[in-house]
Structure 1
Amino acid sequence: MSMSGMNMGPMGHMSMGDGVPGLFYLQNMYWAVVGSAIAAGTVVNIFNQFLAFQRIRDSTLTPSKPKSLFFNTCATLTAITREASYATLSPWSVGGRTFHFAPLGPVAIILANLVVVLVFCFYKLDTTDQWKWEDVGYRTGFVAIAQLPLIFLLAGRQNIIGLLVGMSYERLNWFHRWISRTLWLTVTIHMGFWFRSWGRYDYITYQLKNDPLSKRGFAAWCILTFIVLTSMAPVRRLSYEIFLLQHLVTFVGFIAAVWLHAPAEVKVWVWIPIGLLVFDRVARYAWATYANLSIFHRSTPGTKYALWANRASFTPLPGNVTHITIDSPGIRWNPGQHVFLTCHSIVPLQSHPFTITSIPEDNKMEFLVRAEKGGTRRFFHYASKQHHFLGSGNTTPVKPVRTVFIDGPYGRMRALQQFDSVVLLAGGMGVTFIIPCLRDIVSRWKMECLRHQESSKKSTRLAATKHIRFVWVIKSRAQLSWFETQLQSVLSDVEECRRVQPDLIREIDLSIYVTCDDKLESQPQQSQVLCSQVQPESTIVGTRQITNPIEPVDTTDEKGSKKNGVSIHSISKTSSADSTPQNGCLPAGGCCCKTAIEDEDNNSIAEHQCSCSGHAPTSQIAQPEPEKTTAKAAPAKVHKLPVFSGRPQPRTIIRKVLEKAEGESAVVVCGPQGLSDDVRRSVVFLSDERAVHKGTGAQGIYLHVEKFGW
Structure 2
Amino acid sequence: MSMSMDGMGGMGGMGGMGGMSMGNGVPGLFYIQKMYWAVIGSAIAAGTVVNILNHFLAYQRLRDSTLTPAKPKSLFFNTCATITALIREVSYSSLPPLSISGRTFHFAPLGPVLIILAYLVVVLVFCFYKLDTTDEWKWEDVGYRTGFVNICQLPLIFLLAGRQNIIGKLVGMSYERLNWFHRWIARTLWLTATIHMGFWFRNWGRYDYITYQLKHDALTKRGFAAWCILTFIVLTSAAPIRSLGYEFFVLQHLVTFVGFTVAVWLHAPEEVKVWVWIAIGLLVFDRVARYAWATYANLSIFHRSPDHKNTLWANRATFSPLPGNVTRITIHNPVICWKPGQHVFLTCHSVAPLQSHPFTIASIPDDNKMEFVVRAEKGGTRRMFRYASRYDDLLGSGETSAKQERTAFIDGPYGSLRPLRQFDSVIFLAGGMGATFTMPCLRDIIAAWTAECHQTDSSKRTRLTSAKRIRFVWVIKSRAQLSWFESQLQTVVADVAECKRRQPDIEREIEISIYITCDEKLEPQTIQPPICSQNQQEPPTEPTVEKIEKEKTITIEEPSPSSSSINEAKQCCLPNGGCCCGTKVEDEDEITEHVCTCSGPAPPKPVERRSSIEKPPISETPLPPANALTILSGRPQPRTIIRKVLEQAEGESAVVVCGPRGLSDDVRRSVVYLSDERAVHKGTGAQGIYLHVEKFGW
TM-score (norm 2): 0.91
Instruction: Flag the 1:208–1:553 CA change in 2: closer, same or farther, 3 A.
Output: same
What letter is aligned with 1:172?
L
1:213-232 correspondence to structure 2 within 5 Å = 213-232=219-238
What letter is aligned with 1:44?
V
What letter is aligned with 1:136?
V
Instruction: Flag the 1:677–1:622 CA change in 2: closer, same or farther, 3 A.
Output: same
1:409 maps onto 2:442 in alignment: no
Tell me, in whole angstroms, the C-alpha distance in 2 between the residues paired with 1:244 and 1:456. 55
From 117, 121, 124, give the equivalent of 1:111: 117
From 31, 34, 57, give the equivalent of 1:28: 34
1:56 maps onto 2:62 in alignment: yes
> What fraction of aligned residue pairs are identical, expressed as a percent?
72
What letter is aligned with 1:683?
V
1:552 maps onto 2:547 in alignment: yes
Number of aligned residue pairs: give it: 671
Which deviates the most, 455-464 or 422-431? 455-464
Aligned to 1:705: 693
1:585-604 correspondence to structure 2 within 5 Å = 585-586=570-571, 593-604=581-592
Aligned to 2:152: 146
Shift of 1:451: 1.8
Structure 1 unaligned segments of length 5 or more: list them: 541-545, 555-563, 570-577, 628-635
Instruction: Flag the 1:161–1:606 CA change in 2: closer, same or farther, 3 A.
Output: farther
Aligned to 2:312: 307
Tell me, in whole angstroms, the C-alpha distance in 1 between the residues paired with 2:641 and 2:408. 41
Instruction: Flag the 1:507–1:315 CA change in 2: closer, same or farther, 3 A.
Output: same
What RMSD over aligned residues (CA atoms) do the two structures have, in Å? 2.9
Please say if residues 376 and 384 of structure 2, whose CA atoms lie closer than 8 Å, have aligned partners that are also in contact: yes
SS at match of 1:286: helix
Shift of 1:516: 1.5
Aligned to 1:488: 490
Structure 2 unaligned segments of length 5 or more: list them: 1-6, 556-562, 601-612
Shift of 1:463: 0.5
Aligned to 1:366: 371
Q: Deviations over 1:450-481 (max 9, x none)?
A: 123xx353410111000000001111111111
Tell me, in whole angstroms, the C-alpha distance in 2 between the residues paired with 1:150 and 1:565. 49
Tell me, in whole angstroms, the C-alpha distance in 2 between the residues paired with 1:391 and 1:110. 46
From 71, 90, 97, give the equivalent of 2:103: 97
Shift of 1:536: 8.1
Please say if residues 551 and 568 of structure 1, whose CA atoms lie closer than 8 Å, have aligned partners that are also in contact: no
SS at match of 2:285: helix
Shift of 1:297: 1.4
What letter is aligned with 2:474?
W
From 649, 670, 675, give the equivalent of 1:661: 649
1:67-106 correspondence to structure 2 within 5 Å = 67-106=73-112
Tell me, in whole angstroms, the C-alpha distance in 2 between the residues paired with 1:23 and 1:709. 42
Which deviates the most, 54-63 or 382-391? 382-391
Shift of 1:496: 0.4
1:529 maps onto 2:529 in alignment: yes
Instruction: Flag the 1:456–1:93 CA change in 2: closer, same or farther, 3 A.
Output: closer
Instruction: Flag the 1:537–1:661 CA change in 2: closer, same or farther, 3 A.
Output: farther
1:117-132 correspondence to structure 2 within 5 Å = 117-132=123-138
Tell me, in whole angstroms, the C-alpha distance in 2 between the residues paired with 1:700 and 1:258. 47
1:436 maps onto 2:440 in alignment: yes
Tell me, in whole angstroms, the C-alpha distance in 1 between the residues paired with 2:312 and 2:13. 57
Aligned to 2:385: 380
Shift of 1:606: 5.5
TM-score (norm 1): 0.90
Aligned to 1:631: none
From 352, 355, 360, give the equivalent of 1:355: 360
1:682 maps onto 2:670 in alignment: yes
Please say if residues 87 and 684 of structure 1, whose CA atoms lie closer than 8 Å, have aligned partners that are also in contact: yes
Q: Deviations over 1:598-629 (max 9, x none)?
A: 110133366344689xxxx92335896569xx
Tell me, in whole angstroms, the C-alpha distance in 2 between the residues paired with 1:535 and 1:487. 35
Tell me, in whole angstroms, the C-alpha distance in 1 between the residues paired with 2:495 and 2:537. 32
Q: Deviations over 1:99-122 (max 9, x none)?
A: 111111000000000000000001
Please say if residues 325 and 364 of structure 1, whose CA atoms lie closer than 8 Å, have aligned partners that are also in contact: yes
From 429, 448, 454, give the equivalent of 1:450: 454
Please say if residues 14 and 144 of structure 2, whose CA atoms lie closer than 8 Å, have aligned partners that are also in contact: no
What letter is aligned with 1:488?
Q
SS at match of 1:46: helix
Shift of 1:586: 4.8
Please say if residues 424 and 652 of structure 2, whose CA atoms lie closer than 8 Å, have aligned partners that are also in contact: yes
Aligned to 1:512: 514
Aligned to 2:72: 66
Tell me, in whole angstroms, the C-alpha distance in 2 between the residues paired with 1:89 and 1:2. 49
Aligned to 2:347: 342
Tell me, in whole angstroms, the C-alpha distance in 1 between the residues paired with 2:343 and 2:418. 16
Please say if residues 609 and 618 of structure 1, whose CA atoms lie closer than 8 Å, have aligned partners that are also in contact: no
Instruction: Flag the 1:116–1:3 CA change in 2: closer, same or farther, 3 A.
Output: farther
SS at match of 1:154: helix
SS at match of 1:369: strand
SS at match of 1:242: helix
Please say if residues 522 and 662 of structure 2, whose CA atoms lie closer than 8 Å, have aligned partners that are also in contact: no
Please say if residues 551 and 566 of structure 1, whose CA atoms lie closer than 8 Å, have aligned partners that are also in contact: no
Tell me, in whole angstroms, the C-alpha distance in 1 between the residues paired with 2:81 and 2:674. 16
